[in-house]
Chain A
Amino acid sequence: MSRLILDLLLRATAETLEMVLASGLLAVIGGLPLAVLMMLTGPSGLCRMPWLSRPLGLLIDAVRAVPFIILLVLLIPFTRYVVGTSLGTTAAIVPLAIAAIPYFARIAEVSLREVDPGLIDAVRAMGGTRWMVVRYVLLPESLPGLISGFTVTLVTLVGASAMAGAIGAGGLGDLAIRYGYQRFNTPVMLGVVLVLIVLVTGLQALGNVCSRTARHGSR
């Protein structure tokens, strides 16, 4: 019995980690360039383009406004088109990533905007191009903030991935609902909650360490 629970928990943890890390990675790949674009084309940016930054900001916020469970359903055709099925762990990564990209984009944008404008001036005064400003100033200087923001995104994804259980995505949330909520299997439910607590606090602690290391004693 406890052997079985352990097996279930291990498999579910692996599925959750797969969903969270894959969609987290996609959130950075998609969200970071969006954040840089928003910052550069925004009102005080280096290449002001309101015709681009405004609609982009609107789109980002529109996606963030849709409750995740609705997004999950809305995206079923798209998910089926991308991964061939709308069920299972891999399929859940698509809506999770779509939700996480604008989420992380906004968080990353805040970090980028917090970079001291004097540093941008410094690199421009040296004869740096706009790309060099991004490469030498914006990204490295906001790295501690970006890492913290990424940690928050991952933790949010842990919660969201539980909802993806609704489309049979598996993972810890799915396990908790099927065994704990539907069958009143308290040991499994408690086990899931325990693993989730360990997972979230572990992610947060790791994120804090990385962020502090990247800070190099400043602030």
Chain B
Amino acid sequence: MSLLAVEQISRQFGGQTALQDISFTVERGDSLGIIGRSGAGKSTLLRCLNGLERPDSGRILFEGEDLAAVPDNRLVMLRRKIGFVFQHFNLLSSRTVASNIALPLEITGAPAPQRKKRVAELLDLVGLSDHASKYPALLSGGQKQRVGIARALAANPALLLCDEATSALDPETTSSILKLLSDINHNLGLTLVFITHEMDVVRQLGRHVVVLEHGRIIARGTPDSVLQNDPPLRLPSGLSPTARAGDHTVLRLTLDTQALIAPLLADSAAQATVLDAQARQTGGTQTLEALVQLSTSTPDALSLLQATAQSVEVIGYVPSDT
């Protein structure tokens, strides 16, 4: 069973759609990045994953229990197994660093000696042992986020959610926080779901990525496959991770443009080199527009291409060594 299975959730705010038909699963130990433009619905989605926001429809199965349907008192208990790291840290200014980190343990009712031991461990993990009795107002942004992460880890959650954990930080601090998160994911095996709008963060931290736009998932895959496609492929709506009876299969292909075009010239002496190519949507049809360099501009090569291509246009000539 997946740790988290999101099944076709939707959420509207007063007639405006924030999330539509979102489905994905997250396995234990995985790390999933959610990217998308501002207003795409990323934060709303993440807040649904710990029940801070309830979807209008759909299910969110966390360890098999539906966060969208459990009663409030059960939701409160389930949240204790989900850590949340905020963009603006959200540390209590009335509590010291150590006492901020201890708060989730006070909430779960852990006895004081156990709290103390765990807080010391976490302070060590995030490298803030010297700052235990400081108040948050005296810390730098990076230090505050370390406290935020330590606090989110305090109650040994099964899942860690991060909403733009590094967006308020400078590049250097960002990379040290990313290193910390990636260590937590790799070494502690903690499952991670994070939001970012920085591609570098996805590459460093994500094993899987979903791209959100206008409340829909428009692409998903590994960081490499998703980030290469620029702009990303548009996925059909109602895409589900599991097959139901009568479903069609949707798959992603990567084709070599050179290999697509070369066979067209099989009967000619000319050699074709693809300089650039791009998929285009014209009306209802997908076309591939390619810039091709021919070794010899024999008339038969041109007519062979014209037989298959929708249009062929000679746009100029270059020396043979280019």
- Per a CB cutoff under 8 Å, which of A119, A127, A217 touches B79? A127
- Say whether A218 contacts B135, CB under 8 Å: yes
Establish whether residues B92 and A119, one from each chain, have CB atoms under 8 Å apart when the complex forms: yes
Q: Give the contacting residue for A218; candidates B80, B108, B136; CB below 8 A.
A: B136
- B79–A124 contact, CB under 8 A? yes
Interface pair A217/B137, CB less than 8 Å apart: yes
- Taking a contact as CB atoms under 8 Å apart, the answer to whether B86 and A140 are in contact is no
Output the least CB separation between A125 and chain B (Å). Answer: 4
Taken residue by residue from 89 to 106, chain B's Cβ proximity to chain A (1 for < 8 Å, 0 otherwise) reads as 011111100000001101
Interface string of B71-88 (1 = CB under 8 A from A): 000001111101010101
User: Complex Cα distance A122/B83, Å?
Assistant: 10
Measured between beta carbons, the chain B residues less than 8 angstroms from A129 are 76
Q: A122 contacts which chain B residues (CB < 8 A)?
A: 84, 86, 90-92
B90 and A121 form a contact (CB under 8 A): yes
User: In the complex, which of the residues B103, B137, B138 contacts A123, with contact meaning CB atoms closer than 8 Å?
Assistant: B103
Contact A126 B79 (CB under 8 A): yes
Partner of B108, one of A116, A127, A141: A127
The interface centre, meaning the residue of B80, B86, B94, B155 with most chain A CB atoms within 10 A of its CB, is B94
The answer to whether B90 touches A216 (Cβ under 8 A) is no
Give Cα A143 to B94, complex, Å. 9
Selected contact of A121 from candidates B52, B78, B138, CB within 8 Å: B52
| Interface contact B82-A125, CB-CB below 8 Å | yes
Contact A126–B107 (Cβ < 8 Å): yes
Instruction: Assess whether B50 is interfacial by the CB under 8 Å rule.
Output: yes
Which residues of A in the span 187-213 have a Cβ within 8 Å of any Cβ on B?
none
Which residues in window 87-136 of A have CB below 8 A to B?
A: 116, 118-119, 121-129, 132, 136
Residue ID in chain A nearest B75 by CB atoms: A127
Q: What residues on A are CB-neighbors of B76 within 8 Å? A: 127-129
Known: A118-B90, A140-B95. A126 touches B137 (CB 8 A): no
B: number of interface residues (CB 8 Å):
28
Q: Which residue of A lies closest to B148 (CB)?
A: A122
* CB of A137 closer than 8 Å to a CB of B: yes
Which B residues are CB-close (under 8 A) to A119? 90, 92
B138: chain A residues within 8 A (beta carbon): 217
Write the B192-213 contact mask toward A (1 if CB under 8 angstroms, else 0): 0000000000000000000000
- What residue in chain A is nearest B161 (Cβ atoms)? A125
| Residue ID in chain B nearest A116 by CB atoms | B90
Interface string of B36-61 (1 = CB under 8 A from A): 00000000000000101000000000
A26 to chain B minimum Cβ distance, whole angstroms, is 25
On whether the beta carbons of B84 and A125 are closer than 8 Å, the reply is yes
B71 to chain A, nearest CB (A): 13
Q: From residue B138, how far is it (CB to closest CB) to chain A in Å?
A: 6
CA distance A137 to B103 in the complex (A): 11
Q: Considering residues B52, B90, B107, B136, which has the most beta carbons from chain A within 10 angstroms of its beta carbon? A: B90
B91: chain A residues within 8 A (beta carbon): 122
- What chain A residues lie within 8 Å of B103 (beta carbons)? 123, 126, 136
How far apart are A71's CB and chain B's nearest CB, in angstroms?
36
CB distance from A45 to the nearest CB of B (A): 15
**Min CB–CB distance B106 → chain A (angstroms):** 8
A-B contact pairs, 23 of them (CB 8 A): A116-B90, A122-B91, A122-B92, A124-B52, A124-B79, A125-B79, A125-B84, A126-B79, A126-B103, A127-B78, A127-B80, A127-B107, A127-B108, A136-B92, A136-B107, A137-B92, A141-B92, A143-B94, A216-B93, A216-B94, A217-B138, A219-B93, A219-B137
Shortest Cβ-Cβ A-B pairs, 9 listed = A127-B80, A140-B94, A127-B79, A218-B93, A125-B84, A218-B137, A217-B137, A122-B90, A216-B135
